[in-house]
């Protein structure tokens, strides 16, 4: 069993489901915990993807959209300062703040092969699906002279096949996540290209 395994599958208290941190509270936590600018941008990108997906593809209420966004925004909050406690630290912090369990659970299951928690809800699965793919697409944008402009899914797929490109990005997680969520890889890639370009 690896260090990061959380060893449980229930998170938070169901009585807290309506307790959604404000965006300001989430940003404050990021400012406090995350000094690494590119890691912060990664979380902002995933947060914005989650929100956009909840709104455009799932047509969820404004309140649900914020839950999705907060889960994306905070999913790696502990990675900068406590890599060996990655996931456990943020999960326990949010539990101590009585945060909605659906948000905590989505964060806890963003890497099933690392943390041993299976993504169940659509929110869980989308966070898992966006995480690595968003990172790879951002890395690709940095090596293109025009950044995101004119980027095509075909180019992204080529980089996915080239295992030496952004080698730390798990191709297996990307394949597994897209399969679990039942969304075609092309659709995921197109959505990410369209939505994350403007996130600073
Ligand atoms: Fe992570
Ligand atoms: Fe991440």
* 115 CA → ligand 2 middle, Å: 13
> 30 Cβ partners below 8 Å, 6+ apart?
40, 43, 73, 74, 77
Please tell me the number of the ligand nearest to residue 89's CA.
1
Please report where in the chains the tokens 């941008």 appear, as a residue.
41
How far away, in angstroms, is 135 Cα from ligand 2 center? 8
User: What's the distance, CA 50 to chain centroid?
Assistant: 8
pLDDT band for 200, please (50, 70, 90 cuts): confident
Ligand 2: centre distance to CA 131 (Å): 5
pLDDT given at position 1: 56
Ligand number nearest CA of 138 is: 2
User: Is 128:110 a contact under the CB 8 Å cutoff?
Assistant: yes
Exposed e or buried b for every residue in 91-126, given b needs 16+ CB within 10 A? bebbbeeebbbbbbbbbbbbbbebbbbebeebbbbb
Average pLDDT in the 162-177 region?
A: 95
Q: What is the mean pLDDT of residues 98-113?
A: 97
45-54 residue pLDDT tens: 999 999 999 9
pLDDT score, position 177: 97
Closest CA to 16 of 118, 117, 102: 102
| Residues 19-31 pLDDT 10s | 999 999 999 999 9
Q: How far is the CA of 114 from the centre of ligand 1 (A)?
A: 9
Are the beta carbons of 20 and 66 closer than 8 angstroms?
Answer: yes
**Which ligand is nearest the CA of 46, by number?**
2
Query: Rounded to whole angstroms, how far apart are CA atoms 22 and 67?
Result: 10
**Per-residue confidence (pLDDT) for residue 70, from 0 to 100:** 98
Ligand nearest to the CA of 129: 2
- pLDDT digit string, tens, across residues 63-92: 999 999 999 999 999 999 999 999 999 999
Region 101-130: what's the mean pLDDT? Answer: 97
Span 169-179, mean pLDDT?
96
Give the count of beta carbons closer than 10 Å to the beta carbon of residue 66.
22
The per-residue pLDDT for 4 is 87
Q: What percent of the chain clears pLDDT 70, i.e. is strictly above it? A: 100
Average pLDDT of the segment spanning 11-20: 97
Average pLDDT (167-188) is 96
Q: How far is the CA of 76 from the centre of ligand 1 (A)?
A: 5
Residue 197 scores a pLDDT above 90: no
Which ligand lies nearest the alpha carbon of 130? 2
Please state, rounded to an integer, the average pLDDT across all residues of the chain: 96
Task: Calculate mean pLDDT across residues 159-178.
Answer: 95
**Distance, CA 139 to ligand 2 centroid (Å)?**
13
């Amino acid at each position: 069993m690896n260090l990061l395994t959380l060893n449980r599958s229930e998170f938070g208290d169901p009585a807290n489901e309506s307790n959604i941190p404000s965006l300001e509270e989430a940003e404050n936590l990021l400012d406090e915990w995350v000094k690494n600018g590119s890691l912060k941008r990664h979380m902002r990108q995933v947060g914005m993807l989650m929100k956009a997906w909840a709104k455009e593809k799932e047509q969820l209420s404004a309140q649900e959209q914020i839950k999705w966004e907060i889960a994306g925004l905070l999913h790696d909050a502990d990675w900068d300062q406590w890599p060996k406690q990655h996931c456990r630290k943020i999960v326990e912090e949010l539990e101590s703040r009585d945060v909605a369990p659906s948000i905590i659970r989505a964060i806890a299951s963003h890497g099933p092969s690392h943390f041993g928690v299976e993504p169940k809800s659509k929110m869980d699965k989308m966070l898992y699906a966006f995480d690595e793919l968003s990172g790879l697409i951002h890395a690709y944008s940095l090596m293109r002279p025009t950044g995101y402009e004119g980027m095509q899914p075909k180019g992204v797929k080529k980089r996915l096949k080239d295992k030496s490109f952004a080698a730390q990005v798990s191709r297996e997680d990307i394949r597994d996540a897209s399969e679990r969520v039942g969304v075609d890889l092309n659709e995921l890639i197109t959505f990410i290209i369209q939505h994350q370009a403007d996130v600073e």
